Structure 1
Amino acid sequence: MVDYATVAPGIHLEEITPAGPIAGAGTGAAALIGVPARPPTGTSTDPVPLTSWNAYKDQFGEYSSGALLPYAVRGFFDNGGALAYVVPVKKLDAEGMDAAVDALSRVPEVSIVCAPGLTDPALAKDRVIAHCEKMGDRFAVLDAAQDSNPLKADGPLQTQRSGLVSASGFAALYYPWIRVTDPSAAGAKPLPVPPSGHIAGIMARCDATVGVHRAPANEYLRGAIGLDHVLNDVEQGALNAKNINALRIFPGNSVPVVWGARTLSEQTPWRYVNVRRLVSYVEDSLRQGLRWAVFQPNTPGLWKSLERSVAEFLTRVWESGGLFGRTAAEAFYVTVDESVNPPGARERGEVYIEIGLAVTRPAEHVVLRIGLWDGGQNQ
């Protein structure tokens, strides 16, 4: 910085760095809420950032009877997760969940939230889902209740499902629990554990290898050796109709695979997990990347700069495969002009940017049309 008091009067020039391109927000960091082998002392529920299973063991210990959190954390890292915020609580009850989500509201890096083993629909809806909807930049991965008869109307799973909803698709429910080798038991016995930590790891893996627009499905759950209940096609069809994502084992492979990608929304636009997470990613990226515009003069010049910045970012999203269209113009539009910024809005210090996105949706049903053919040349 030049001290102009020490130089001759006149016109002085300084070069400034213009606003750079909008960087994509992070999407793979998960928060896992639960009771560790070494519960926290006092009332602390501060989220602890960890980057490996060994780091978790050093901080919270390994396995203990009835503690589901360690298996979820191990599953997260085994399936490709790189950063986990562990939120230790003494109990997965209303008090513990209130403290946990309050602590998570102060951690902007989180984009996936799990509470392994939490199957109480009221707690899940009022704490976990409500937290994700309020924050707007994170997604809830929920564990289904253990149930050997998943289609029974008044059974644990259907009762749980009837109490869960997220109109804008900020949550997904996965059934059944998976089986892992229990390292704390003699003879390496299979142990049923909730799948949410493993699913969160798969989400992080898909984000890193393809992008947040990739549906986290048709992916194997590393570390799982079986399922608590083996579904058939009829059962899954009924569950899929209720937006319950199934974990399946298919012939030729004994490792469970994620075979569903639906949210808990009844609204078609928000039906799929990757659509909700992609839109949240775009919103969060723009929220972070456009801070430079706050308090700038509200003029057409600012509007044009905003339009260029947003269009450049969305072009990159389209090029990565996140938006549908043969051209960028087919994939999205950005409007920042008088039509959305009337004089009244400008007087209130407001700038409106209208954005339309043609998001890609997963090919959930691949239909084969097969007929008989007499052979010969096809003319």
Structure 2
Amino acid sequence: MAAPYKTPGVYIVEKNAFPNSVVEVATAVPAFIGYTQIADNKGTSLARKPWRITSMTEFVNYFGGAPADKFDIVKKTDADSSSDFKSGNDEYVLKRPNEKVDTYRYYLYYSMQLFFQNGGGPCYIVSVGTYSDTGVVRKPLEEGIDLLLKEQEPTMVVIPDAMALAEDDCIGLQQYSLKHCGFQMKNRFAILDIYNGYKERTDPPTDCVAAFRGDLGTNFLNFSAAYYPWLNTSIIQTTDLDFASFVDVKAVKDLLLAEAGGEAAPKDLKDILAQVGDAGRDATQKTYLSDDELHKILFSVSATYANILLAIKRKLNLLPPAAAMAGVYTMVDNARGVWKAPANVSLASVISPAVNITHDEQEDLNVTTAGKSINAIRSFIGEGTLVWGARTLDGNSLDWRYINVRRTMIMIEESLRLATKAYVFEPNVSGTWVTIKSMANNFLTGIWKRGGLAGASPEDAFNVSVGLGETMTPEDILEGILRVTILLALSRPAEFIEITFQQQMQKS
């Protein structure tokens, strides 16, 4: 439209020479849902409120510290079960009070440490409750997932505390997270743990992997990945433990006294044991040893006490791998790009997988008739603990078999969707079509140059089509529909490398 010039003179009119650019959305912003010690920001409650943090220090400031894990010492009576430690001729088991299932505990705090140790960065925390005797409950965790519906930034969903639920509730919660990622939002990826994944597949009562596959269902599998087995980590050290780890301190004192000979035990040791616990303290004493001093002395002089703490450390350090994998996704995305498969990467603060998997044993995990591929975490001599799989749970799909393919497509879709919002209500004419096509071409060319798309040239890597008679009909334009079609050649990992050896004739 001509400008309303009314006065003679010279007028300057600026026109944009270049289309709007597409800003690449963040790809590695996990949302962790679970229970915390507190949920407070300087007097303002953060309960049931997604809150963005960038470090473990911020997590502690807003959500507090570790849960007070306490254990009862029980003499083992079942010959078929394994013991946690031995004292004299007797074997003992460590049990949590009011334990509902074998893995009953709060996992989020230690999982956050594992996340940041493995390259984690900005993330969201949804605190659905505080540590209490009621334990972990499915309903609040599902409500925590719903709270993420209004948040646009998170790209992954991780729920470590799901492993503390009963098995049926855990699977139901995982199905709920798949629905959130693949049906409601369609721009998020769920990282799942295998229930009882610290066990061998041959351990009774059932094969944990087979149970997971059989119960999970078939919906939205390409928006998730699962990992097996759990991890023996080094997050908790013996210096982090003390007498507060026991439900009944007196039972520990009696065990240590019996180890030293009962009434015939040295007087110095009796005096030390007498000071353990508040009940053993005499308020009239001028001096007495602190808990930290008592702990160090007993750890050095009592083999039983050292064995008990080492057993507790092993139990607390056994963690599900999803949080570590969220950290790996973040690290790989930042270093190489979301199109790089998050595999063949070593895990930090991990001593070993809870179960050693051989090459043959991994075959059923990676490829199965049901298509539910489980990514293995394996230990290799001289290399440490490596992530040795990069498949989604939709392992039989040629389109969405690989994690990096699914997540790259999510990134491209979200980036272009947000960029083209600027053209809503613009005239549906050739000028708008050319602008959108140029914008998409520029963005995808940049992705191709960085290795995110396959092909020797941009023409081989992608194609953007828009226009009347090409992607739209006259009826589409009358109805206000602007349709753009984009074809992409996404890069896929070299999962199987075949090297052929053949003898040749000797040459003279």
**TM-score when normalising by structure 1:** 0.90
What is the match of residue 448 of structure 2? 318
Question: After the TM superposition, which residues 197-212 of structure 1 pair with which residues of structure 2 at under 5 Å, given as runs?
Answer: 197-212=323-338
User: 1:44 & 1:226 partners in 2: Cα distance?
Assistant: 35
- The answer to whether residue 122 in structure 2 is matched with residue 83 in structure 1 is yes
- The answer to whether residue 361 in structure 2 is matched with residue 238 in structure 1 is no
CA 1:258–1:289: 2 relative to 1, 3 Å: same
- The answer to whether residue 406 in structure 2 is matched with residue 367 in structure 1 is no
- Counterpart secondary structure, 2:453: coil
Question: After the TM superposition, which residues 1-379 of structure 1 pair with which residues of structure 2 at under 5 Å, given as runs?
Answer: 15=14, 19-38=19-38, 44-64=47-67, 65=69, 66-90=105-129, 92-119=136-163, 120-125=170-175, 127-133=176-182, 134-147=184-197, 148-150=199-201, 154-164=206-216, 165-167=218-220, 169-181=222-234, 182-183=236-237, 184-185=240-241, 189-190=313-314, 191-242=317-368, 243-253=373-383, 255-265=384-394, 266-338=396-468, 339-376=470-507
Q: Which consecutive residues of structure 2, in runs of 5 or more, have no partner in the other structure?
A: 70-104, 130-134, 164-169, 243-308
Q: Identity rate of aligned residues, in percent?
A: 31
User: 2:408 & 2:13 partners in 1: Cα distance?
Assistant: 39
User: 1:198 & 1:144 partners in 2: Cα distance?
Assistant: 14
CA 1:219–1:299: 2 relative to 1, 3 Å: same
CA 1:375–1:206: 2 relative to 1, 3 Å: farther
Q: Mean Cα displacement is larger for which, 274-283 or 14-23?
A: 14-23
Would you tell me which structure has more helix in proportion to its own residues?
A: 2
- Counterpart secondary structure, 1:291: helix
Q: Over residues 137-185 of structure 1, what are the superposed CA-to-partner deviations in whole Å (9 max), with x where a residue is unaligned?
A: 2111111122423268942321112233344610001111111122443
Aligned length: 371
Q: Mean Cα displacement is larger for which, 339-348 or 180-189?
A: 180-189
Task: Give 1:115's aligned amino acid.
Answer: I
Aligned-CA RMSD value: 2.5
User: 1:57 & 1:169 partners in 2: Cα distance?
Assistant: 34
User: 2:136 & 2:342 partners in 1: Cα distance?
Assistant: 26
Q: Which consecutive residues of structure 1, in runs of 5 or more, have no partner in the other structure?
A: none
What is the match of residue 301 of structure 2? none
CA 1:292–1:151: 2 relative to 1, 3 Å: farther
User: 2:333 & 2:322 partners in 1: Cα distance?
Assistant: 16
Q: Mean Cα displacement is larger for which, 29-38 or 42-51?
A: 42-51
**Residue 39 of structure 2 contacts residue 45 of structure 2 at CA under 8 Å; is this kept in 1?**
no
User: 2:177 & 2:136 partners in 1: Cα distance?
Assistant: 12
Q: Mean Cα displacement is larger for which, 177-186 or 26-35?
A: 177-186
User: 1:25 & 1:314 partners in 2: Cα distance?
Assistant: 13
User: 1:273 & 1:100 partners in 2: Cα distance?
Assistant: 25
Task: Give 1:199's aligned amino acid.
Answer: M
Q: Mean Cα displacement is larger for which, 19-28 or 310-319?
A: 19-28
**Residue 39 of structure 1 contacts residue 89 of structure 1 at CA under 8 Å; is this kept in 2?**
no
What is the deviation of 1:71?
A: 1.7
